[in-house]
Structure 1
Amino acid sequence: MLPGMLFIFAPLVVGYLIQTSSSILLARINRATNYLIFVILALMGLSLASLDNLGQNLQLILVYVAVFSICIGVSNLVALPIVDKLFPIHVIGKKNKLPLSRMALESTKLILVVGVGLFVGTLLTIDLGWVDITSESVLFLLLFLIGIQLRNSGLSLRQILLNKQGMIIAIIIIFTSIIGGIIAAYILDIGLYQALAMSCGFGWYSLSGILMGDAFGPVFGGASFLIELVRELVALVMIPLIIHSRPSVAIGYAGATAMDFTLPIIQTTGGVRCVPVAIVSGFILSLLVPLLMLFFVSLAEQIA
């Protein structure tokens, strides 16, 4: 319901109202956010362990991941070349190889954390009913800190509005991802609003997995987490290969991660002219992930 959505979204809004110039405080917030992500992913693993028919549910998660990744990815990649054609970016970066294995290792760590939580949960004989309440509490704190991070990211509204390419890329990712979600809902025969919520993660694997898990249970949470993690891993490989010929495609497919995790590889291989485009598109998508996901979650709950 709408009150439930506002209750979840409130910590993000409150955090966004807080502005600070203290680099020390922001560094501590960044560290705390990273720690909380690991905590919630471990709790997600515990939630998966408490499921009945665990093996069958894990197979279902993988099916969701495959269908959503293909539907959303194809939809994104069909439309993004239009931006390159209409609004070309002059790429001046070097065609050098980055330590992709090291970056991929960071993503692999996240999967391992979920796996450890799943393994520990299968060994425990105690009731795991406390996991959902704990996850929700940690989620509120995480959203609050994320709100502070977004407010103090250094981007003003004027900077966002003036970067036409970044805005257009973000808009295309939003609409094509929604189209991909509609197609996936039809293929998988699941609720439309559930599918639309899952399609609006835009690469933000930690938050999307947490929100979907809190709303619809560990199966949807685990699937959402892996869907967005797959996007990030594909982007790490794709960016160096195509950024010189299709920079908007490379930046757009990176989704919300274009402003943080994949930004170094975008800057190194695409040059400084790609950086403001990547930051603006990534910022817009990051800001809209919780808003759009919670909006579609509320619609799904009203129908249920």
Structure 2
Amino acid sequence: MYFGILIALVPLGLGYLIKIKNNSWMSKINLTLSWMIYLILFIMGVELAHLDNLVTNLQVILYYAIVLFICTFGGNFVVLMMLDFLSPSKTDNVNQTYTSHFKMILESLRVCIALIIGFICGLLPLFIWQYAENVTQIVLFFLLFLVGIQLRSNNISIKQILLNKVGMTTSILVVMSVLLGGMVASFILNLPIRVGLAMSSGFGWYSLSGILMTEAHGPVIGSATFLNDILRELCAIILIPILIKRHQLTTLGLCGATSMDFTLPMLQKGGGVAIVPAAIAQGFLLTLIMPIIITLFNYGGFWF
């Protein structure tokens, strides 16, 4: 239990103690993180290929992912739309020029290709696959360490994040509605509630949520969690141009943890610079708490 918690929190905390001001080094860290994401998804594909009763398990993975996505993303959508309806502030001055809309969708789909390539390679009888689990733990530790550095080096203090009321509000509502959706999904899927809660707590950070769940519950649960989060990102990208003019808070919340990085350019194009601070605040908070709450649900013995 405690080892599982420490392996997630210690590297993140250690990385957060380091602040890098050199732009060249930060570019290298960002590039390394990008390649590590593909490596992690490749390893997930390898582990998926080694499942017994593969065809049956693939059907289970798709079923879990679809049910979980409907419950969590749907819950987010309903709660955030209520917030938009009750919020008196509306912004009509928007700029909707999404020249890279489809390019971003293709970029998001690229991570699925890494998983598929890993799956195909995993079918080959190579001796190196026996070390896949050990490699995963090393890569996960290093990934969290670099993410901690990245968060600290963005020149955004915890105080600035906590003072952004919009980002805080959407983050709280996203977390509450996602966890409620995870509980509903756990009943539908006949899974322990703590597993449903953990599966739902990725907030769109598909690479880390998938590998954390694979480590704790195996490749079936891990792959379903990954698919749920990648579906969230894809749907957010598709819905941003449609919703941002009249439902900015809903659009922001649906982006989850990606509002700080991947979906930020689209949010800025549609909502203007005014939405950027809230988007960064939400993305930062969800990125920071995601590995913590997933690990607590996975290894905390007090959860039912």
Letter of the 1:228 counterpart: D
Spell out, residue by residue over 1:265-293, the C-alpha distance to the aligned partner (whole angstroms, 9 max, x if none): 10011111111111111111111111111
Q: Partner residue of 1:230?
A: 231
**SS at structure 1 position matched to 2:215:** helix
Q: 1:87 to 1:22 in 2, by over 3 A?
A: farther
- Aligned: 1:278 with 2:279: yes
Letter of the 1:258 counterpart: S
Distance 1:104 1:130 in 2: 33
Identity %: 41
- Aligned: 1:76 with 2:76: yes
CA contact 1:95–1:240 (8 Å) conserved in 2: yes
**SS at structure 2 position matched to 1:88:** coil
Q: Partner residue of 1:170?
A: 171
Q: Partner residue of 2:46?
A: 46
- Aligned: 1:260 with 2:261: yes
Spell out, residue by residue over 1:218-276, the C-alpha distance to the aligned partner (whole angstroms, 9 max, x if none): 11111111110000000001011011100000000000001100000100111111111
Letter of the 1:173 counterpart: V
The 5 Å alignment of 1:1-304 reads 1-84=1-84, 85-86=86-87, 88-126=89-127, 128-299=129-300
Letter of the 1:83 counterpart: L
Letter of the 2:146 counterpart: L
Q: List runs of 5+ in structure 1 lacking aligned partners.
A: none
Distance 1:83 1:153 in 2: 29
Q: 1:196 to 1:102 in 2, by over 3 A?
A: same
CA contact 1:107–1:233 (8 Å) conserved in 2: yes
Q: How far is 1:161 from its partner? A: 2.1
Q: List runs of 5+ in structure 2 lacking aligned partners.
A: none
Q: 1:126 to 1:20 in 2, by over 3 A?
A: closer
Q: 1:11 to 1:237 in 2, by over 3 A?
A: same
CA contact 2:8–2:291 (8 Å) conserved in 1: no
CA contact 1:91–1:247 (8 Å) conserved in 2: no
Letter of the 2:274 counterpart: R
TM-score (norm 2): 0.96
Q: 1:195 to 1:158 in 2, by over 3 A?
A: same
**SS at structure 2 position matched to 1:18:** coil
Letter of the 1:6 counterpart: L
Q: How far is 1:88 from its partner? A: 2.4
Q: How far is 1:124 from its partner? A: 2.4
Spell out, residue by residue over 1:39-93, the C-alpha distance to the aligned partner (whole angstroms, 9 max, x if none): 1111111000111111111111100110000000111111112332225242422
Q: 1:160 to 1:104 in 2, by over 3 A?
A: same
Letter of the 1:2 counterpart: Y
Count, aligned residues: 303
